[in-house]
Structure 1
Amino acid sequence: MDKKMPVLFLAHGSPMNVVLDNEYTRSLIKLGQELEIPKAIIIISAHWKTRGTYLTYSKKPRQIYDFYGFPEEIYNIKYEPDGGEKYAEMIANELKEEGAELTDEWGLDHAAWGVLKYLYPNANIPTFEMSLNALLTEEQHYKIGQKLAKFREEGILIIGSGDIVHNLRAADYDIYGKPHEWAEAFDKYIINAIKNNNHDILIKYKVLGDISKLAVPTDEHFLPLLYVAGAQDKNDNVEVIHRSIQNSSVSMSCIKIG
């Protein structure tokens, strides 16, 4: 049997992080040095929301620079791994009941390559993305994560890339600006829920009312966490790889489970 892979929730925050040397980027480099080498990587990306569940399917997925107005050096970064088609097929097959489809109309967006360039800088691991189906409930997203869990045993690294707190309207231009108290409070509350295996809190995060509306004004950066929680085993060790708040209102918390 292959060694069971961990499952990761990685924050990506501002595209500036792909060229910065800070505690967050250093924590990803360190994590990459410690991780087993997976057979393939599936990334559930905050940056690919669709009507339906889709998996990227191509020999060489195109690199997507899904942002504008940043320094040119960011657009010069190349990250072009193999697309892991046979692994994408395996997962699409597992998610037949969910209507999962393969597509070459997307590639690797910055939620994917922006973190992978630190974890696996040689881009030598087959990598594909899964979209967030906008038609699903929180519980349905979580249940897909549960179905993905078995692939950990087959050497596939599951990564959810988003941000626990992501409110750009409340953001400070200074990436290292003072965090909002509500941002730190929500981040801590959600991390504790993962540590305590209390997935109900994650699925029903909206019951917190005003603080959840501030922390998660739109859900695409939070939803990847539900897939990661779904793939969590009750005996898994939970390790917070990094914690910080950037731009006052973007959580950069990164979590390793397993």
Structure 2
Amino acid sequence: MTSHRQPAVFAGHGSPMYALEPNRFTDAWAALGKTLKRPDAILVISAHWVTRGTWVTAMKNPKTIHDFGGFPQALFDIQYPAPGSPALADRVQELLDVPVVLEENEWGIDHGAWSVLKYLYPDADVPVVQLSLDGSISASEHYHLAKQLQPLRDENILILSSGNIVHNLRTIHWQEDAKPYPWAKDFNAFFISMMQANRHEPLIEWEKYGQAAHMSIPTPEHYWPAIYTLALQRDDERANVFVDGIEMSSISMLGFTVQ
């Protein structure tokens, strides 16, 4: 990686409770934050903002969104008061070859973003902009869209994608140290092997991998953010795993960077 280029980061964000209960995954996010050159702003692609079309937050002071239910009040009390960046929102609109809605009122920083950012940048002093996931387009189209964001990395913008490679809520075991399902381990290992071999096409066309893929990705919104980080990889860069593991039997906590 050139000295001035920001890496692109994918974090498996897991349970919202990690924002209250640090563990080895949140420790890895915090450690990563200490190694990163301070960015001028952060562009986040979160699994928790799926829209019709492509939207980007453009407000000066985004609110902290608690987009979940059934958790302790302490989780709803968490605030991540990072400023926004209307200038970055305009730049994203300029780079993308699709219409982009500049969203100034309804969204903000959702838990897919702040649960990780809380550890990466605990002072909430780096401006944050979120880019939505267009729920109507394919993984291949998301990959194409993400490639258009590459210039931002040379403009000191950190691009953080947040989701989970394996994310099957219907098969979760809530107890600690739950044994991973074989299919979850299988697909997680397949993803890592293809990523490290710089073979993106099998990961874009993940459905072709078969039952393990379909069990791991019953809906694609948590998987798509990883496609963004892959697409941001340059020819002179490698993908590096900074944390891995499967929690609650069917949630992959894999995190990786390209740099």
Task: Please report the TM-score for the alignment, with normalisation by the length of structure 2.
Answer: 0.96
* Aligned-residue offset at 1:137: 1.4
CA deviation map 1:162-187 (0-9, x unaligned): 00000001100114311111111101
Structure 1 unaligned blocks of 5 or more: none
Post-superposition Cα deviations, 1:234-256, rounded to whole Å, max 9, x if no partner, equal 22132211001111100001101
Aligned mates of 1:212, 1:121 — CA distance in 2: 34
**Residue number in structure 2 paired with 1:18:** 19
Distance in 2 of aligned mates of 1:193 and 1:200 = 9
Aligned to 1:102: 102
- For residues 60 and 107 of structure 1, the distance between their equivalents in structure 2, rounded to whole angstroms, comes to 8
Shift of 1:2: 7.8
Q: Percent identity?
A: 38
Other structure's SS at 2:158 match: strand
Gaps of 5+ in 2: none
Corresponding pairs, count: 257
Question: 2:151 — aligned with what?
Answer: 150
Match of 2:72 in 1: 71
- Per the alignment, do residues 113 and 72 of structure 1 end up closer, same or farther by CA in structure 2, a change over 3 Å counting? same
- 8 Å Cα contact 1:7/1:157 also seen in 2: yes
Find the residue that maps to 1:113 and give its secondary structure. helix
Matches for 1:1-258 after TM superposition, within 5 Å: 3-95=4-96, 97-104=97-104, 105-258=106-259
Counterpart of 2:220 in 1: which secondary structure?
Answer: coil
Instruction: Tell me which stretches of 4 or more aligned residues in structure 1 moved more than 2 Å.
Output: none
Query: 1:19, 1:177 → 2: CA distance?
Result: 20
CA RMSD in angstroms comes to: 1.2
Tell whether the 8 Å contact from 2:82 to 2:125 is kept in structure 1 after alignment.
Answer: yes
**Aligned equivalents of 1:2 and 1:134: distance in 2?**
35
Give, in whole Å, the separation in 1 of the partners of 2:161 and 2:22: 22
Given that residues 229 and 257 in structure 2 are in contact (C-alpha distance below 8 angstroms), is that contact kept between their aligned partners in structure 1? no
**Is residue 175–residue 248 contact of structure 1 (8 Å, CA) maintained in 2?**
no
TM-superposed CA distance for 1:21, in Å, is 2.1
SS at match of 1:220: helix
Cα distance per residue 1:204-251 (max 9 Å; x no partner)? 001112111100000000001111111111221322110011111000
Instruction: Check conservation: 2:39, 2:126, Cα contact below 8 A.
Output: yes
TM-score by length of 1: 0.97
